[in-house]
Amino acid sequence: MTKALAYTCQTACRPCHLIRARRLFPLGNLAQTLEQLAEAGLEDFYNGDIAARIADDVAAYGGIVDQEDLAGYKAEIRDASTIEWRGTHRVFTAGGLTAAPTLAEVIAGMDNALIGARPDAAWFAQLSSVMQRAYANRLDGLGAAQAATEPGDTCTTHVTVVDADGNLVSVTTTLLSSMGSRVVLPSTGIMMNNGIMWFDPQPGTPNAIRPSARPLCNMCPVIVTPIDGNWPRMAAGASGGRRILASVYQVLAWSLDFQLTPEEAAHIPRIDVSGPDCVNADRRLADNILTALRQTGSLSIVEHGVLPINFACPNFTIATGDRAVGWSDVVSPWSAAVAATAHG
C-alpha cells in the first residue's frame, strides 16, 4: 500500500520567505529543546528544566505565565464526536469546544439537500442558509469572541496521513494569529501563541475569559469511515481560522455525496460562510449560483488566491485498502503532498 501525507500551512509567514531567500532559517535552541523532550519526556515541558526556562524567559519579558501555570495544565483526552452522514458514513471529529458541534448542525441541515451530478445553485443556496443559521447558534451559545476578535491571518497547520496499514491521522495545530504572539523565548526557541484572543473579553458570556477555562476554537479535523466498516476511508481537515468549517464540509460533500475524484474536489470553486449574515463566493462559480447566493445574505464575490486569504486551505487523504491518495490545497504555495511506497 502507498503511504500518503497531505500538509498545508495557512499563512504567509515571514520565515517562509527567509527560507526561500537564504536556504537556511536558524531556529535558535528549538532543536535542542525538542531533543531534550524526546529524551526526558513530555513532563519536562510542564514540571522540569524546560518549564523552568520557559517561566524565566516569560518573566524576563514581563509576562505572567509561571511554573505554577505550567505544572497545573492538564491535557484532556476526549472520545471522538461521531456524526452520521446520510446513513452511509460516520464522521469522527474532535469533541469539546471545537467546530464539531457546528459541523454536526450543518450536516443535519444539509441531510435533505438534493444531490445531482454536480453542486448546483439550489445546493449552494441551501448550504449558505444552513451555515449562517449554524454560525448564529454557535456564536450565541458557544461564545461571541470568534465573530469579533479573530484576525484575518492565522498561523494554523493541518496534516492528514494514512500509513501502509490504512491507519488514518488528522491533526490540526495552531499558533492562532500569524506567527502567534511573535515572541520566541531565547533559552528554548519556543514561539509563544496568543491564545487569549480565543476568549470573549465580555464577562458573563459563554466564552468569557476566566481561570481554568478552555476557549472556543475553529479546529475541525475529521476521519470518515463507511458505516459497514469497509473502504474507502478518509481523513481531512483545514487551516484558516473561521473559514475551516465551510471548507471541511464542502470537501466531505464533494467526496461523499457527489462522488468527485480527488482531482475534481481539489479544483471545484467553494463558498465560505464565517458568520451569521454573510457569504463569500469564489468568482469562478456560475452566474446562476451567485444569483441564488445573493438571496441568502450579504454576498461578496472574491478571488480564491494566495493573498488576501478568502478561503481555508483544506487537505485530505483517502485510503481504499490497497492504496491511498493525498491532496492538498492547490492554491496555497505553503501546502504540499508527500507519498512514499511501502516495501515488504
Residues noted as catalytic: 156
Q: 77-89 burial by CB neighbour count: b if 16+ within 10 A, else e?
A: eeeebebebeeeb
Residue with cell 475534481: 264
Residue 113 has phi, psi (to 5 degrees) of -65, 140
Give, in degrees to the nearest 5, the angle at Cα 130 between 121 and 266. 55
Please count the CA atoms within 13 angstroms of the CA of 318 that sit on its side-chain side: 17
Residue 267 has phi, psi (to 5 degrees) of -115, -10
Handedness of CA 223, 240, 300, 263 (dihedral sign): negative
The amino acid at 253: A
How big, in percent rounded to 5, are the helix, strand and coil portions of the chain? 35, 25, 45
Helix (H) or strand (E) holding 315: strand 313-319
Whole-number Å distance between alpha carbons of 269 and 336: 20
Whole-number Å distance between alpha carbons of 19 and 17: 5
